[in-house]
Structure 1
Amino acid sequence: MKLQRIAAEATTEAGPDAVWALLSDRSTWPNWSPLGSHSGVQPGRDGTPDGLGGIAQFVTGRTCVQEEIVEREPPRRLSYALLSGMPLRDYRAVVELTSAGAGTRIRWSATFLPGRPGTGWLYRLVLNRIFRGMVAGLAAAARTRS
């Protein structure tokens, strides 16, 4: 099966610290994104909910996913891996924040292998739509907050 790649980008007038404050607190994600409810499953190795190794659950409609933080570089980069909830393998998402003048460029990308042959296009389509909502929502929320 072929490795699938998706990405969405947005720019906000808010600075990287304001964007990072929202991005690094997964409990805020349902407030500004298409995701449904959030709950912490396991704290990170540092004892905080969203530290390295922290596991969270998101429920959106009938879909319940669990994701683990696998990389944190404040205020530039957050990466997480899908543990369960979708028939995908080796799913890893990366959110990168870069300065763009006085604001911030947000790039949310992921790679994955479809769990079943012939389904990669469908998951690319669905996840691209979700990622567009994620970056647009994060950009707007950070602008409003700052």
Structure 2
Amino acid sequence: MSSRRRVFVVTETSGASPSVVFDLLADGEGWSRWAGPLVSRSRWEREGMPAPGGVGAIRRLGRPPLYVREEIVEYVPGQRHAYRMRSALPVRDYLGTVDLSPLDSGGTQIVWQGSFVPLIPGTGAVVVVGVRLFVARLAHRLAKVAIAGTGTSSPAT
């Protein structure tokens, strides 16, 4: 069995601006406030440039006893946030990117993509389904909390 690269894409819409969505996404310590109950604990292990959550930062996210460590590899305020998984999943070379595009309505299209190579041959399909479902729930929470924080109505689900 080959260990080919697996890719998934999740798309969500928020009524909040790209800068509001980005600020939530890039706040490693704040994930536990918006991503719960999926992420009940969050903190920075290392700050990046710009501090605290720019390139080179490592965030630790999860729920006891399972945590992931993610290193920020791209930080473009209001536009793109990318990270590499440094621990947890049975995969290697995991890259996650979140692209934010302004909508004519004033909201944001969120496109969250992940790619990885399964560590255990034959598990790629199962892992991609699980990770995609998890990320879809995160993206939905991100969109809802971003709009709630702006004082405008909820996004369509």
Q: Shorter-chain TM-score category?
A: over 0.9
1:78: how far off?
0.3
State whether residues 12 and 103 of structure 1, in contact with CA within 8 Å, keep that contact through their aligned partners in structure 2: yes
- Are 2:135 and 1:138 aligned? no
Q: Residue 71 of structure 1 aligns with which residue? A: 74
Q: Which runs of 5+ in 2 are unaligned?
A: 151-157
In the other structure, the counterpart of 2:60 is 57
For each residue in 1:2-61, what CA deviation from the matched residue of structure 2 results, as whole angstroms up to 9, or x when unmatched?
A: 110112111111111111121111222222222231121111144x22111000111224
One of 27, 37, 52 as aligned partner of 1:25? 27
- CA distance, structure 1, for counterparts of residue 11 and residue 33 of structure 2: 19
Q: Which amino acid aligns with 2:110?
A: I
- Whether the 8 Å CA contact 1:45–1:52 is kept in 2: the answer is yes
> Percent sequence identity over matched residues?
30
Correspondence 1:74-93 to 2 at 5 A: 74-93=77-96
Question: What residue is the counterpart of 1:10 in the other structure?
Answer: 12
Structure 1 residue runs of 5 or longer lacking an equivalent are none
Instruction: Look up the equivalent residue of 1:91 and give its one-letter code.
Output: Y
CA root-mean-square deviation: 1.2
- Would you identify which runs of 4 or more consecutive aligned residues in structure 1 move more than 3 Å? none
Secondary structure at the aligned position of 2:89 is classed as: coil
Alpha-carbon distance between aligned partners in 2 of 1:90 and 1:116, rounded to the nearest angstrom: 13
Corresponding residue SS for 2:144: helix
CA distance in 2 between partners of 1:37 and 1:78 (Å)? 20
Say how many residue pairs are matched: 145
CA distance in 2, matches of 1:20, 1:38: 17
TM-score (structure 2 length as normaliser): 0.87
